[in-house]
Structure 1
Amino acid sequence: MTLIHRSTLLRGEKADLVALASAEGLRLKSGEWPRDFFPGIFLDCTWQPNNGRFIVKTRRLTQPLSVEGRSVGYQYDAQVLMRDAGPISEHGGSVAEWVILTMRTLGYLDPDGRAVLAEDALERNMVELGFPTARLPQLTHVVVRLVREGRIQRVEGSLGPDGRPVYPALRYRPPVELLSFRPRIVEVHRAESRSQQADPRVGQRPHKVAGFVRRLPSGHNASDEAREAHADARRRAELANDAPLKPGFTFVRKHRRLGSL
Structure 2
Amino acid sequence: MCPLPEDLVESLRQRESVTVVFDHKLFGVTPLQESFESAAVQDPGWRLADVPWPVDLRPGALVSVVWKSAEDYVHVRTTALDEPIRVDGVDYYHDYDPRVITREFDPGLSNRGQVLRVVRQLGRVFDDGSAVFPEAELPAHCGLGRGKKGTFLLRNAVDQLLREGYVTRVPGSTGPDGALNYPAVDGQEALDLLFYAPLLEEAPLPGESGEPGDGDGADRRDHWVNGFVRRLPAGSSASRKQLSLHQQAMEKEQIDGFTLEPGYTFVKRHHRNG
Give the TM-score taking structure 2 as reference length.
0.63
1:27, CA displacement in angstroms? 4.4
Using a 3 Å threshold, how does the CA distance of structure 1 residues 164 and 189 change in structure 2: closer, same or farther?
Answer: closer
* Counterpart in the other structure of 1:179: 194
* Counterpart in the other structure of 1:41: 61
1:148, CA displacement in angstroms? 2.5
Query: Once the two structures are aligned, what percentage of the paired residues are identical?
Result: 27
Give the TM-score taking structure 1 as reference length.
0.66
Aligned counterpart in structure 2 of residue 54 of structure 1, from 74, 79, 101: 74
* Counterpart in the other structure of 2:269: none
Larger RCO, structure (CA 8 Å, separation 6 or more): 1
Using a 3 Å threshold, how does the CA distance of structure 1 residues 195 and 8 change in structure 2: closer, same or farther?
Answer: farther
Q: Give, in whole Å, the separation in 2 of the partners of 1:69 and 1:17.
A: 32
Aligned counterpart in structure 2 of residue 19 of structure 1, from 38, 41, 52: 38
Larger mean Cα displacement after TM superposition, 13-22 or 96-105: 13-22
Structure 1 residue 141 and structure 2 residue 161: aligned?
no
8 Å Cα contact 1:86/1:105 also seen in 2: no
Runs of at least 5 residues in structure 2 that lack an aligned partner in the other structure = 1-19, 219-274
8 Å Cα contact 2:81/2:95 also seen in 1: yes
Structure 2 SS opposite 1:6: strand
Using a 3 Å threshold, how does the CA distance of structure 1 residues 202 and 51 change in structure 2: closer, same or farther?
Answer: farther
Q: Give, in whole Å, the separation in 2 of the partners of 1:87 and 1:195.
A: 24
Larger mean Cα displacement after TM superposition, 71-80 or 161-170: 161-170
The superposition leaves residues 139-177 of structure 1 with CA deviations (integer Å, 9 ceiling, x where unpaired) of 112212221332100000013133553222102333211
Q: Give, in whole Å, the separation in 2 of the partners of 1:109 and 1:180.
A: 10
Q: Give, in whole Å, the separation in 2 of the partners of 1:44 and 1:164.
A: 32
Using a 3 Å threshold, how does the CA distance of structure 1 residues 105 and 193 change in structure 2: closer, same or farther?
Answer: farther
Using a 3 Å threshold, how does the CA distance of structure 1 residues 33 and 165 change in structure 2: closer, same or farther?
Answer: closer
Structure 1 SS opposite 2:53: coil
Larger mean Cα displacement after TM superposition, 3-12 or 105-114: 3-12
Q: Give, in whole Å, the separation in 2 of the partners of 1:193 and 1:167.
A: 40
The superposition leaves residues 126-145 of structure 1 with CA deviations (integer Å, 9 ceiling, x where unpaired) of 23xxx566972311122122
8 Å Cα contact 2:123/2:132 also seen in 1: yes
* Counterpart in the other structure of 2:114: 98
Q: How many aligned residue pairs are there?
A: 194
> Cα RMSD over matched residues?
2.8
Runs of at least 5 residues in structure 1 that lack an aligned partner in the other structure = 204-261
The superposition leaves residues 53-104 of structure 1 with CA deviations (integer Å, 9 ceiling, x where unpaired) of 111110110010000100101111111111112222xxxx211111111111
1:197, CA displacement in angstroms? 4.3
Aligned counterpart in structure 2 of residue 8 of structure 1, from 13, 24, 27: 27
- Aligned partner letter, 1:147: L
Aligned counterpart in structure 2 of residue 74 of structure 1, from 81, 91, 94: 94
8 Å Cα contact 2:206/2:213 also seen in 1: no
- Aligned partner letter, 1:144: D
8 Å Cα contact 2:124/2:180 also seen in 1: no
Q: Give, in whole Å, the separation in 2 of the partners of 1:184 and 1:83.
A: 15
The structure whose Rg is larger is 2
Structure 1 SS opposite 2:136: helix
